Amino acid sequence: MLHSEDHRRLEMAIRCLEALCVMAKSFWRDIMDAGGIPALLELMRSTRPALQRMAAAVVCHISERTPVCEALVRYGAVPVLVNLLGGQQAELHSRCALILADLAGHSDQYQSLIAQQGGVAPLVRLLGSDLHDVLVNTVRCIKALCVHSPGNQTAVALAGGIPQLVELLTVRSEVLQEEACAALAELAKGHRENQDTICGAGAVAPLVLILRGRKMAAQVTAARALEAIADHNPAIQARFLKKSAAKHLLRLLKVFQVEAREQGAVSLWALAGHTLKQQRLMAEHIGYHFILELILSSSDRMQYVGCQAVIALSRDSRSHQDGLCKENGVPPLVRLLRGSRTTESTLLSVIRSLGILCIGGAHTNNPNSQRVIAEEQAIPTLLELVKHQESLQIKVQVAQTLACVLLGNQDLQTTFWEKEEFTYETVLELLRVPDQDICLEAGYALSLFAYNNTTQQAAILQNGGIPIAMYEPFLNSRNEMERAKAAFQIVVLAKVITDTDQVTLSARGVTVLVDLLQSTNPNTVVLTAQLLASLAHTRAGIPDAIVTMGAVGHLCAHLYSEEEEVRTASSSALGYLTFNRHAHRLLLVECRNTPSMYDLLTQHLIEDAKISHIFTAEFQRQKIVGLPSLSLEINGGPPVPQRNKKGTFCYAVNNYLNLFHIQLKSEVCRAPCSHTLFQLCPQIFYRFEVRAL
């Protein structure tokens, strides 16, 4: 009947097919077997609008089925559907968009085929329609086209679809708002340019407004869009935080539905970014209670976010480490550690969080959290993972966590080595695997065991030690982070590395680290300063070597960095170096010459950092007496020179020329200085080279 020339017979046949599709869910198979797909497509190619609409309606009812989608593509449905999108029939637009959405959702190949046939532009034009059904199906189709398809994400943006989708966030229809949020989420996922375009189109305010509402489904989709738009984008994260988005997302953690709580947690952590300060602020905003609820939940994503929040709170913060132990935060972590359903990514986060709970800034230990973890019997579980886990990442992370639990705790170490069956051979084997990242992390695990512990250094050496050849690729690497980690390890493990003497290894490691302080990469400077802070309170001679290589000057210069993490890490390293008499004197001279430097140093010290009380008392005493630089300015002299971000001093040369009528050249202050030094005044510690009198 679908091939009949009688218009009425055709219409009745199509209506019967539509009714049968609605009433009988399995009737799609009979239509396919009877050759209905090509016949329906032929009707959609006709010039009769009514028949086109009815044929499209039948296809809409069966296009969800995978075999139907394959048949539609096989018989050339895509160009037909794209062509009909350009017509004038709104009802046909809606149905064709729905069919294309089903095709795009079936296969990434069909996504590409629709884009190649020119389907993106007419879909974007339909976003200007006034009809609700057309808009909903069009937005769904655009969403389906963009799933895991960077090319289609870019094509929709270039066609001008983003501003129109953002505008749909403000309509009164809850369904349309949800679909727009979902489409924007797919457009932004993993696409930095689209993230910026969506934010520039004004999506932040309406998304936060939806989060403030009381419609749960809309809130969840808005949270999903927020996650995709803010992911790995600090500027957009800041804009959402400024609009108090975190406060509204926190409400999702209080609802009963697991899906809503999960999306709220993931979106909150997307706003946490990748800096320690921002992550800690977000974790504090979530609070201990909700963090523990996340860890105890059945959702893997919520468990992961909970562990990441524990890591952010605990890193270099003894107060939060003790707080989590007091709130019984360790038992849920140990429970996840033993769980058979815990995924590898979450398991790695659990293991890492247990280690970070035990270690503070500059590799200082926390006996309280170490004791709690031992009492919860986490150590035997960690040893079981070392023995039976096939994942090398998990094995090396377990080794690091075991070392953190034992670090600096003599009682625990005695009990561990007497009762537990653990040998360094397990970790030494990881040094010989092909994966270079695993090798370097295994070396760090051994460094943690050996840190300020001559007994364990001797034990590692008895198991064969470490050949220096293992570290050569890392010490000569172009990757600055790898060089910094390797340099730290050869200093700590100098007594257990074979083929090279301890003094040479220590000197080489310190030299590499001090050189890396001059890197232009802030992440490298942060890591290097943190490692130097740890080395500053190891064996005798290391702090002197650090000072001799000129680390104090570089660290002082970094106190003026634009990056807060750089200033914090540099302050911590300088704080530990003040216990060295040579560094004490050099830093005191710098602070006398530039009093603001002392303020920067003390303001950026983290709670776990240390600074010599002798140093602070001496500076305060000299400040009361009167610092030379301040005294000079008070008595009509030039202003106090300030150090710029590169570490050079900016002198008021004209003032000195007027006073002394000589030509002077300002220089970068270094220690030692090879230039001829000329002291203009006993009260001035700044030096100049005399060119002519």
Evaluated on CA atoms 519, 523, 524, 525, the torsion sign reads positive
C-alpha to C-alpha distance for 480 and 374, rounded to whole angstroms: 36
Given a cut of 50, whether residue 635 has pLDDT beyond it is no
Q: How confident is the model at residue 8 (pLDDT cuts 50, 70, 90)?
A: low
Backbone angles phi, psi at 420, to 5 degrees: -85, 145
Given a cut of 60, whether residue 681 has pLDDT beyond it is no
119 Cβ contact list (under 8 Å, min separation 6)? 78, 81, 82, 85, 100, 145
What is the CA 236 to chain-centroid distance, rounded?
Answer: 14
Evaluated on CA atoms 245, 250, 256, 262, the torsion sign reads positive
Burial class (CB in 10 A: 0-12, 13-18, 19+), 380: exposed
109: closest CA among 141, 76, 70, 62?
A: 70
Of residues 622 and 588, more confidence is placed in 588
Predicted confidence at residue 674, as pLDDT, reads 32
Backbone angles phi, psi at 26, to 5 degrees: -95, 5
CB 518 within 8 A of CB 554: yes
Q: Which helix (H) or strand (E) holds 361?
A: none
Backbone angles phi, psi at 232, to 5 degrees: 55, 30
Q: How confident is the model at residue 195 (pLDDT cuts 50, 70, 90)?
A: very high
CB 549 within 8 A of CB 583: no
User: To the nearest whole number, what is the mean pLDDT of the chain?
Assistant: 87
Question: CA 576, 582, 587, 593: dihedral to nearest 10 degrees?
Answer: 170
Given a cut of 70, whether residue 677 has pLDDT beyond it is no
Across 235-246, average pLDDT: 96
Backbone angles phi, psi at 665, to 5 degrees: -125, 125
What is the 3-state secondary structure of 227-275? HHHHCCCHHHHHHHHHCCHHHHHHHHCCCCCHHHHHHHHHHHHHHCCCC
Domain range summary for the chain, segments of one domain joined by +: 648-692
C-alpha to C-alpha distance for 560 and 576, rounded to whole angstroms: 19
Of residues 141 and 594, more confidence is placed in 141
Given a cut of 50, whether residue 536 has pLDDT beyond it is yes
Task: Classify strands 497-498 and 649-650 as parallel, antiparallel or unpaired.
Answer: unpaired
Given a cut of 60, whether residue 685 has pLDDT beyond it is no
Q: pTM of the prediction? A: 0.86
124: closest CA among 151, 110, 143, 107?
A: 143
Lowest average pLDDT, out of 382-391, 402-411, 452-461, 662-671, goes to 662-671
CB 220 within 8 A of CB 182: no
Given a cut of 90, whether residue 602 has pLDDT beyond it is yes
Paired residues of 692 in beta bridges = 663
Encode pLDDT of 207-216 as tens digits: 999 999 989 9
Encode pLDDT of 292-306 as tens digits: 999 999 999 999 999
CB 142 within 8 A of CB 134: no
C-alpha to C-alpha distance for 501 and 504, rounded to whole angstroms: 6
For the chain, what is the total number of helices (H) and then of strands (E)?
A: 43, 6
- Record the tokens describing residue 113, joined without a space: 């085929």
Q: How confident is the model at residue 30 (pLDDT cuts 50, 70, 90)?
A: confident
Burial class (CB in 10 A: 0-12, 13-18, 19+), 24: exposed
CB 51 within 8 A of CB 15: no
Helices (H), 75-215: 77-85, 90-106, 108-116, 120-126, 132-146, 150-158, 161-167, 174-188, 192-200, 204-212
Coil/strand/helix, residue 575: helix
CB atoms within 10 A of CB 643: 20
Predicted confidence at residue 630, as pLDDT, reads 52
Given a cut of 70, whether residue 629 has pLDDT beyond it is no
Predicted confidence at residue 24, as pLDDT, reads 64
Paired residues of 548 in beta bridges = none
C-alpha to C-alpha distance for 53 and 32, rounded to whole angstroms: 19
- Record the tokens describing residue 413, joined without a space: 């170490």
Across 369-384, average pLDDT: 95
Encode pLDDT of 176-194 as tens digits: 999 999 999 999 999 999 9
Given a cut of 80, whether residue 275 has pLDDT beyond it is yes
- Record the tokens describing residue 161, joined without a space: 């679809």
Give, in order, the Cα–Cα distances in Å from 540 to each of 455, 503, 535, 641.
17, 12, 10, 35
- Record the tokens describing residue 651, joined without a space: 């002198």
What is the 3-state secondary structure of 72-111? HHHCCHHHHHHHHHCCCCHHHHHHHHHHHHHHHHHCHHHH
562 Cβ contact list (under 8 Å, min separation 6)? 645
Given a cut of 90, whether residue 499 has pLDDT beyond it is no
Indicate the residue type of 296. L
Across 539-561, average pLDDT: 94
